[in-house]
Amino acid sequence: MAAGFLRVAAGLLLSGLIPFWIGSFLLAWLCPPGSFLLRRRWVKVFLALGLGLGLSSLLFFLWFPSSFFRAGFFVEISVYVLLFLAARRFRFEAGSYPDRPAAGPAVLGIFFFGVAAVAASSFFRFMRYWPHGTWDAWSIWNLHARFLFRGGPHWTDLFAPPLGWAHPDYPYLLPALVARGWSAASREILAVPQVIAAFFTAGAAAVLVGSVSSWRDRSQGWLAGLALLAPSIFVMNGSFQYADIPLGFFVLCCWVLALDAWKRAPAGRALVLAGAMAGFAAWTKNEGLCFCLVFMVARFCVLAGRKEWARCGREMVLFLAGALPGLLLTVAFKMRVAPPGDYAALNGPVLMERLTDLSRYRITAAAFARQAVRFDLWGGIPAALLLYGFVVGAERRRLNTPEGMTLVLAQLFMLTAYFFAFVVSPYRLAWHLETSLGRLLLQLWPSVLLGFFLCVRSADERKGR
């Protein structure tokens, strides 16, 4: 019994350290000295783990059906150990900034950590009630993971028509991570998907608070974290083991790395990491593919409007270089392996009928408006932010930069894409809106908060200090 426990513990520990090693190497290699990443250790930790977990998911999915799976796992360990040893050559240097962020009032930080403690308690309470997650977790993501772990070469039995309700066409980042953890432990352990869910939930909060604190001041960072953690919807969906929180994490990390890269002229290698995060978002959920396209279109529109063609080409190449692994695997999986998705059944006449049905626009718009003001889930935070922004005002010079315009334009494009996805929905529209809209908006929520608190004035700025 003791030997079995030690074997499981060692497998899980090694399985978690490998992604951190490879992620740390990529951060040290591709992020230049002076990056804001060097200010916040917890931001580096979560970004490194996010990068490593994304790559581990890709590699696991590529080799797990092979008869060389066990050998492949040890090859992965060996490669990552070598990369970790090589990464010791790259030292994080202290960033030098002329405007170091103010500390902010201590009471605000105490209040944030109090709310964070309550959020953590709620997270584990929800997880105790639903250890397998709720509907989408056990009927989609963990079910897919079980086919990977148990099925081996026969995992494609999931594509049988009777299991079409399990959405076998969805990307596999989350199932592959869960199956990878189970393979390391040689058994299905509930703690594996639970720990993964906890990581992405805490990671989104840590990256948001750390990035806003680095670029603005700590008070703005605390407020951003409070806006994310105070509503029940974020923590609750994280504990449900849904893929929307991991998707929101990767989208947020993409913006954080891209904004950091754009602060340099020309944009540097950190944009490759931003592309990698976007590629992992595509490998997480279908909406991630939409995000990759929207990110590039928004950036192209902004730079084309300024006639900066050379800069646009350089940034697109760097971004695509990072996004290519996740994008290629996602597209290959959907075109060569997975069955068609639900939207594939919409032909031309059906699409035109729904696009010209004004009642569908009215129902969808009303649902968007209701969701934004739902106090039971959002806790009135969107309204409170609007009031806060109105009182303290915004810094137009930040909003009018190419970076600010790209962020705002991309969010508008994503909301538009979601809106029309519901308008042409193959499901009963009212049911689809009720069950999905809140989670789709939650995918964008951390990034919306990032943009909001980067543009809104702090209390010191409002007083003219």
Q: At what angle do helices 41-63 and 270-284 cross, to 10 degrees?
A: 50
Question: Is residue 94, in this structure, part of any structural domain at all?
Answer: no
Residue 2: the pLDDT is 53
379 φ, ψ to 5°? 60, 25
Read off the pLDDT of residues 40-92 as tens digits, 9 standing for 90 and up: 677 888 888 899 899 889 888 887 765 444 555 666 666 656 655 655 554 44
Q: Report how far residue 368's alpha carbon sits from residue 365's, in angstroms, rounded to the nearest whole number.
A: 5
Structural domain boundaries, residue 154: 7-89+106-462
Question: Is residue 82, in this structure, part of any structural domain at all?
Answer: yes
Residue 142: the pLDDT is 93
Q: Which of 281, 271, 272, 277 is nearest to 330 (CA)?
A: 281
Contacts 24+ apart (CB under 8 A), 330-339: 330/171, 330/279, 330/282, 330/283, 330/288, 330/289, 333/171, 333/172, 334/169, 337/156, 338/159, 338/168, 338/169, 339/159, 339/164, 339/168, 339/169
Question: Is residue 362, in this structure, part of any structural domain at all?
Answer: yes
Q: Pick 260 or 375 by higher pLDDT.
A: 260
Yes or no: say if 414 and 289 are a contact pair by the CB < 8 Å rule: no
Which two three-digit tokens encode residue 349? 């006449």
Q: Report how far residue 385's alpha carbon sits from residue 61's, in angstroms, rounded to the nearest whole number.
A: 41
pLDDT band at 332 (very low <50, low <70, confident <90, very high): very high
Work out how many domains the chain is built from and give that number.
1
Has residue 346 got a pLDDT over 70?
yes
Q: Pick 106 or 244 by higher pLDDT.
A: 244
Residue 207: the pLDDT is 93
Has residue 162 got a pLDDT over 90?
no
pLDDT band at 216 (very low <50, low <70, confident <90, very high): confident
Has residue 275 got a pLDDT over 80?
yes
Has residue 106 got a pLDDT over 90?
no
Q: Pick 164 or 465 by higher pLDDT.
A: 164
130 φ, ψ to 5°? -125, 75
Question: Is residue 326, in this structure, part of any structural domain at all?
Answer: yes
Q: Pick 152 or 187 by higher pLDDT.
A: 187
- Which amino acid is present at 18? I
Which two three-digit tokens encode residue 390? 């109105």
pLDDT band at 290 (very low <50, low <70, confident <90, very high): very high
* pLDDT over 90 percentage in the chain: 38
Q: Pick 35 or 419 by higher pLDDT.
A: 419
Residue 376: the pLDDT is 62
pLDDT band at 94 (very low <50, low <70, confident <90, very high): very low
Question: Is residue 101, in this structure, part of any structural domain at all?
Answer: no
Question: Is residue 303, in this structure, part of any structural domain at all?
Answer: yes
pLDDT mean across residues, the chain = 83
Count CB-CB contacts under 10 A for residue 381: 21
pLDDT band at 218 (very low <50, low <70, confident <90, very high): confident
**Angle ∠(211,419,434) on CA atoms, nearest 5:** 90
Yes or no: say if 319 and 262 are a contact pair by the CB < 8 Å rule: no
Can you tell me the mean pLDDT for 387-396? 75
Q: Which of 225, 235, 143, 149 is nearest to 184 (CA)?
A: 149
Question: Is residue 98, in this structure, part of any structural domain at all?
Answer: no
DSSP-derived secondary structure for 280-318:
HHHHH-HHHHHHHHHHHHHHHHHHHHTT-HHHHHHHHHH
Can you tell me the mean pLDDT for 17-45? 70
Can you tell me the mean pLDDT for 307-321? 90
pTM assigned to the model: 0.90
Residue 21: the pLDDT is 66
Question: Is residue 232, in this structure, part of any structural domain at all?
Answer: yes
